[in-house]
Structure 1
C-alpha cells in the first residue's frame, strides 16, 4: 500500500482531487484483509492530499462531554466503539483515531463528516481496477516493476470482481487491457516477488480455470 500511495503522489499534480479518492479506495481495499493499519507510513501524503484531516484532540466534537476520556489517551487509539455483533476490523477508523496530541479523521468517515464542514466534498466512488491502472502506469514511469507485479499478482477476482463468464468478457472489462499492457511492457509477469500469489503453469493446469489462466498467462 505504501508504494502505491507514494507513486500516485509523485506523478499526479498537487491539485488533482482524484488522488484523494484513489487513496480512499486503496485503503478500503486494504480494510478487506486482516492486516495492521499502515496509514502512519504515508501520513504526510495523506494530510497533504486531503485524505486525512488533523486537529488538536480538544477540537473533537465530543471533547467537552468526554474530556476525562480524551485527556487520558496517552498512545495511539482508535475511537470506534464496537457492539457485541460487530466485526472489529470493519470500519475501525470510522470515528477517527488519536495519536497524541493529535486527532485524525479520514475522508468520508463518520468523524470526517462531523468535522470537515458542510461544504466538504465527500470522496467519489471509484473502481479499484481504475486505481490500480493509475498506480501501474505511474510505477512504469518509475521503473518499479515489482510494484506492478505485486498488484497484478492479486488476480482478477481481487482487482476486477464481478462475475465474468468468459476470458473474452474479462478481457473486455474497462481497465483490464490497460493493466495487461503495462504488465507485458515491463515484464512484470516474470518478476520475482518475495510474496508471490501467482500460480505457475502446473497449478493453472490443475485449476482448469479459464479466467485465471487468461489473466496469468501473458505471451
Structure 2
C-alpha cells in the first residue's frame, strides 16, 4: 500500500517552492529532482501529474509530442496504440528491467514526457533536442540541505505545518536508513542548525499535521528512544 504521506509531502513542497520563487542556494529544477528521489526511497507511487504544470514550468519535466520519441518510427504501432497514461521503457516494447531497460519516460496522450536526468532526457540531449541549461543534469543535493531549502521556502510562505512535517520526515529518514557514523556527519552539516533554528523560531513542533509514518511520535515513545529524545529535544 502506497505511503501517501510522503507523496503528499513532496506535492506540498513542490507547490511551496513554486510559490516562494527562486531564492535559495539551489535551482528549483534540482530541488524537484531530489524531492522525487526522496519520495522514491519510500513505498510510494508516481505522482508527477498532480503538479505537472509546475514541473514543466521549472523545466524539470519536458513535454513532446509522442511522434517526437526517438524510437517512434521503429515502434509506431506501439506508440499509436497508447490510449491512457503509461510508462515507456528505454527500449520500447521490451520487458522492463531496472538495470538494462528502465522506465525512460511516460506518455499521457497526446504528449510524451521525460524528467531531467532520465534516460529519455539523455537521448534528447544526445540528439541535440535539448541544449544549454536544459542539457545539464540536475544537481544531487544532500538531503539535509534539500530539507533546509524547502523549509526556508515554507518559512517565507508562513507555512508552519510544512516545516513541522519536514522535520519529522528528516528524522524518519535518518532513523530508518542512516548508520551511527552517518548521523554524526549530519550533525556537522551547518544546514541542520538552520533547520533547528527555524523549527524553534516557528514553534513548529507545537503542531502535528503529519499522518501515517510522518505523525510525530508520542511523548512516551520519544522518551524511550535515544535518537527520538535527541531529535525532538525532549528533556527529562
For structure 1, the 5+ residue unaligned runs are: none
Instruction: Supply the distance in 2 between the matched residues of 1:166 and 1:159 (Cα, whole angstroms).
Output: 8
RMSD value over aligned CA atoms? 2.7
Alignment partners' CA distance in 1, 2:183 and 2:43 = 30
- 1:69 corresponding residue in structure 2: 78
Tell me, yes or no, if structure 1 residue 201 matches structure 2 residue 219.
yes
Superposition TM-score, scaled by structure 1 size: 0.85
Farther-moved stretch of structure 1 (161-170 vs 195-204): 161-170
Query: Which residue number in structure 2 is paired with residue 29 of structure 1?
Result: 38
Question: Displacement of 1:144 after TM fit?
Answer: 1.0
Mean Cα deviation higher: 37-46 or 70-79 = 37-46
Separation (CA, whole Å) in 2 of partners of 1:194 and 1:22: 22
Q: Report the alpha carbon displacement of residue 149 of structure 1 after superposing the two structures with TM.
A: 1.1
State the distance in 2 between where 1:5 and 1:65 align: 36
| Unaligned segments of structure 2, at least 5 residues | 1-9, 90-94
Note if contact 1:79-1:96 (Cα within 8 Å) is conserved in structure 2. Answer: yes
Q: For 1:169 and 1:107, how far apart are their aligned partners in 2?
A: 29
- Whether 1:82 aligns to 2:100 is no
How far apart are the structure 2 equivalents of 1:152 and 1:174? 15
Give TM-score scaled by structure 2 length.
Answer: 0.79
CA contact (8 A) 1:146 1:193 kept: yes
Shift of 1:188: 1.2
CA drift of 1:109 comes to 0.4
Aligned match for 1:126, one of 129, 141, 154? 141
Partner residue in 1 for 2:163: 148
Alignment of 1:1-219 (within 5 A): 1-13=10-22, 18-80=27-89, 81-83=95-97, 86=98, 94-116=103-125, 117=128, 119=131, 120-156=135-171, 158=173, 162-165=178-181, 170-195=186-211, 196-207=214-225, 209=226, 211-217=227-233
**Secondary structure of residue in 2 paired with 1:178:** helix
In structure 2, distance between residues paired with 1:172 and 1:143: 27
Query: How many angstroms does 1:162 deviate by?
Result: 4.4
Is the 8 Å Cα contact of residues 34 and 141 (structure 2) preserved in structure 1? yes
Q: Which runs of 4+ in 1 moved over 4 A?
A: 159-162, 164-170
Q: How many Å separate the matches in 1 of 2:85 and 2:188? A: 45
Tell me the distance in 2 between the aligned counterparts of 1:179 and 1:96: 35
- Structure 2 vs 1, CA of residues 213 and 51 (structure 1 numbering), >3 Å: closer, same or farther? same
- Which is helix-richer, 1 or 2? 2
Q: How many residues align?
A: 210
Q: Which secondary structure does the structure 2 equivalent of 1:104 belong to?
A: strand
SS of 2:104's partner is: coil
Cα offset, 1:205, TM superposition: 2.5
Give the CA deviation at 1:172.
Answer: 2.6
